[in-house]
Chain A
Amino acid sequence: MAGVVGRQPAEPPIVSMGSTGPPYVEEPFFIRDHIVIDGAQVTRPSIDPYREPVESHVYLCGGRLRLSMPVVVKLGHHLSNSFREGVVRACYCMGVLVMIDNPTGLEKYGEGLLTEPAYVGDGVYAGYYGEPSRCRESGKPFFAHVGASTDFLWLGPVLEHVSGIVVDEDLGGVDDVEVVVSLLDRELRRHGVRNSVSLVAGGWSVRGADDVFKLVALGADAVMLSTCVEKTLEPLLTHDTSHVREKMENLLLGLQREIKLLAGAAGVSNIFNTIVGNRELLRAVELPRDIRALLSIKLAGEG
C-alpha cells in the first residue's frame, strides 16, 4: 500500500479523511459524476481485491480479440515517434489494444494495433477502424468509428459488416457519452447482435479507472483513453522510448488494480461476465428522471 508517496510504482493512490469528489463536494461535470457504484456487504460478500483473484480481461468481437482489461488506448498523429513507440510497446506487452491512425514503423506490434483500412495488407494487424461506410473485407475485425451521437440511423445498413463500434468523443458529437453507450448497448441488443458486435467508447473525458468502470457498467465492453494518457505522460514527451514504456506500463497496471478494487468492493470476480452492462451496480444521485430513463439506472435509495 502506498503509505509513503512513491514507495511503489503503479500502486492505487491511498488518501485519507472524507471524500472531496463530486457530486457533493466537487462540482459534478459529467453525468457519471452523479453515479455511484455499489459496495457488497452482509447480503453478499465482497471480494478481497488485495488477496483474491479478480479477472479483469474482456473479449471483443465475439472472442476474436482479448484485452487484459477493459481499456483501449488511442494515439494521435501529433505525438512524436519515440513516444508512440513507448506507449505501443507497453500496451503490446500488457495486452491492451492501441488505436493508431498511422502504424508506419510499428508493424512489429501489429497484433496489438487497430488501424485505418488504408493499411490493409501492409502488415498483420489486430483489426481496423474507420467511418462505417469505409469497411473493407480484410478478414479482420472492423470497428465503426463514430462520434458521440444518439442518432443511430447509420447503424442498420452497416450492421452486417462491422464487428464493433467505437464511440469516440474526440470526433465530436452532441450527446453525452454515458447516454450514447447505454442506448447503443440496448440498440445492439434489439438487433440481436450484442454478443458479436462490441462496443468501445470514450475519448477526452475519460479521467481514470472510475470512469472506465462506470462506462463499462453502462454497457461498453471497453473504454477508450486518449487525452488521459497524453496528459499523464506529458512530462515524458521528449524522453526515450524505454522511459515512456515503463511509465505507460505503470499507468496501465495502476488502472487495472483500481478497476479490480472497484470490482472487488462490488463483490464481482469477473469484469466481462458480470460488469459489462450491469446497470444494477450503479445508482444515480439526484439525476433527473429523463436522463435516468435514458441510462436505465435506478435512483439512489431505490431498492
Chain B
Amino acid sequence: MPVPRQDGPEFWNSTRIEHIRQLARFGEPVWVWDRAKYSSRRLLDRLFFRAELEEDVSGSLASAEEIDTSVSMAGGEISLTTPIYLGDMSFGALSGVPNIALARAADLTGILTGTGEGGLHPEVRKCRRITVQWASARFGVDIDVLNTGMGIVIKIGQGAKPGIGGHLPGVKVSRLISETRRIPVGVDAISPAPHHDIYSIEDLGQRIMALKEATGKPVFVKVGVTNYIGYIACGVARMGADGIIMDGQGAGTGAAPEVVRNNVGLPVEIAVPVVDEMLRREGLREGFSVVAAGRVSSAEDTAKLIALGADLVSLGTASLIAMGCIMVHKCHLGFCPAVLTNKIEENPVKLLSLETATKWVVNMVKGWTAELKLILERLGVESVRELCGRRDLLVARGVEPSQLSVMGVKTSA
C-alpha cells in the first residue's frame, strides 16, 4: 500500500527527510553543507557561509574532532554536550513511547529535552535531562513534577500559534491522558490563550521568582516570535529568567487552527539577530540563553542560527522524523501512520519500539553533531561558543536588502 503523503508544497521535502533518516540510522555525518537548502524558499536557506562559497578551507585545525560543541545554560548549572534542545512535545500530543525515547536519548547524549504541557509520563519522570513545562492550563503540574527536571519552562506561546493556547483534540483524550491531565475522556483540552496570572512583564517576573524559590531550578520562558520579540526578550531577561526559547513561524504543532498557523508570527531567523543585538545593547546577553526553534532542519541551519546570535537550537519536527515521521500533517486526528502521535489506547494494535526509537534519536544527535563539527572546521572556528553572534561569517543571496540590514547581515558582492 502506498505510504500516505501530504500533497502540495512542503518545507520538509524528501531530501530533508531522507537526510535526517540517514543520520538516525547510522549516526554518521552525511554531508557538510546542506544540499536541501536549494529546494526551499526560506530566508535562512538564502544565507550562506562565506566558507562554502569561497571553498576556502582554512586548515588551521588539526581535525573536526577537536572542536568543542558544548554549551552551558543558566550560568553553568546545565551543560550540554552539543547545542541541541529536543523541543517541548507533550504526552498526549505524542503517544508515550516517543516521549520516553526523546527523554532517554537526551540522557544518553547529554543534551536536554522539553516535556511539554501534559504532565509527565512515569517513565519520562525517571530521566534526568528534562525540563518540565508550566503552561497556561497547568495540566498535570504539581510541586513534585516541578522538582523533577533540570529546569522549568514557562510556556507563554509557541511558533505555530502565538497568542493561542495549546490544543489537544478530544479524539486523542483517552483514559490514560484523562488521568494524567485530570480532564474528562473525549473532551477537547484547549489551554487558555494567556496565562491568567501573567498579563505583563511584572507578572512574569513574579512567577519566575516564585518558581525559582519553590524549586531552586533555572527557569526558561518559551515564546512564539512576534512583532515585538526584541522587547519581549529584554523583558524576559530583565525579569531574571535564565533563557528564552523563541519558536518561529513554521514550527511544528500537534493541533492548531490553520488560519493562525499560516498567518501569525515571524520566522525565527529574522528574530535571532534582532534579539541578540538588543540583549547585548541592554547588557543582558551574558549568561542568558537564546534557544532558536522552528524549521531547524540540519546542522547547517544550526550553525547559521548560532552565527546569527542564538546559543542553541531546538529540534522538534527533526526528532520526530528521526523516529519515522513522514510528514502527513495528521497529528490532530490520532491515527498517525508512523505511530508517533496516535491516540493512546490500553491495548495498542501497533506500538513504536522504544529501543529502536531511542537509538534513532541518539544517532540523529550524534550525526548532527558530527556534521556541525565539520561545518565549524570549514569555518575555522574552534567552538560553538566562539561561533555565537558571528554574523560576519554569513552572506546573503537574493534577500531583500532592508530585511538584511535589520538582521545585520551583508549581501554577497
A interface with B by C-beta (< 8 Å): 1-5, 12-21, 23-27, 36-51, 208-210, 213-214, 258, 261-262, 264-267, 280-281, 283, 285-289, 292, 298-303
- Interface of chain B, helix or strand or loop or mixed? loop
Provide the residues of chain A in CB contact with B193, threshold 8 Å.
45-50, 264-265
Shortest CB distance B171–A (Å): 4
Provide the residues of chain A in CB contact with B6, threshold 8 Å.
20
Query: Is B42 on the interface with A (CB-CB < 8 A)?
Result: yes
The contact of B226 among A2, A20, A38, A299, by CB within 8 Å, is A38
Provide the residues of chain A in CB contact with B161, threshold 8 Å.
39, 265
11 further A-B contacts with Cβ under 8 Å, apart from A41-B226, A300-B403, are: A3-B334, A16-B252, A16-B330, A18-B251, A19-B261, A44-B200, A46-B163, A48-B193, A50-B165, A262-B260, A302-B406
Nearest CB in chain A to that of B406: its residue: A301
Shortest CB distance B153–A (Å): 14
Nearest CB in chain A to that of B332: its residue: A16
Would A13 and B257 count as touching, CB distance under 8 A?
yes
Nearest CB in chain B to that of A22: its residue: B262
Would A24 and B232 count as touching, CB distance under 8 A?
no
Would A1 and B190 count as touching, CB distance under 8 A?
yes
B interface with A by C-beta (< 8 Å): 6, 8-12, 40-43, 156-157, 160-165, 167, 169-172, 188, 190, 192-195, 198-201, 204, 221, 223-224, 226-232, 235-236, 249-267, 270-271, 273-274, 294-295, 317, 327, 329-334, 341, 399-400, 402-403, 406-407
Provide the residues of chain B in CB contact with A19, threshold 8 Å.
160, 249-250, 261-262
Alpha-carbon gap, A3 to B40, bound state (A): 30
The contact of A15 among B172, B200, B224, B261, by CB within 8 Å, is B261
Q: Indicate whether A286 sits within 8 Å of B227 (C-beta atoms), given known contacts A4-B333, A26-B9, A48-B192.
A: no
CB-based closest 9 A-B pairs = A3-B169, A39-B162, A265-B163, A21-B262, A39-B163, A16-B331, A46-B163, A45-B194, A48-B193
Would A17 and B317 count as touching, CB distance under 8 A?
yes
Alpha-carbon gap, A264 to B156, bound state (A): 15
Would B399 and A265 count as touching, CB distance under 8 A?
no
Q: Indicate whether A281 sits within 8 Å of B227 (C-beta atoms), given known contacts A18-B250, A47-B193, A286-B43.
A: yes
Provide the residues of chain A in CB contact with B221, threshold 8 Å.
42
Alpha-carbon gap, A130 to B193, bound state (A): 44
Alpha-carbon gap, A50 to B256, bound state (A): 13
Alpha-carbon gap, A302 to B255, bound state (A): 30
Provide the residues of chain A in CB contact with B236, threshold 8 Å.
42
The contact of B333 among A3, A18, A208, A287, by CB within 8 Å, is A3
Would B224 and A39 count as touching, CB distance under 8 A?
yes
Nearest CB in chain A to that of B254: its residue: A16
Would A25 and B252 count as touching, CB distance under 8 A?
no
Nearest CB in chain A to that of B229: its residue: A301
Provide the residues of chain B in CB contact with A285, threshold 8 Å.
43, 266-267, 270, 403
Would A25 and B163 count as touching, CB distance under 8 A?
no
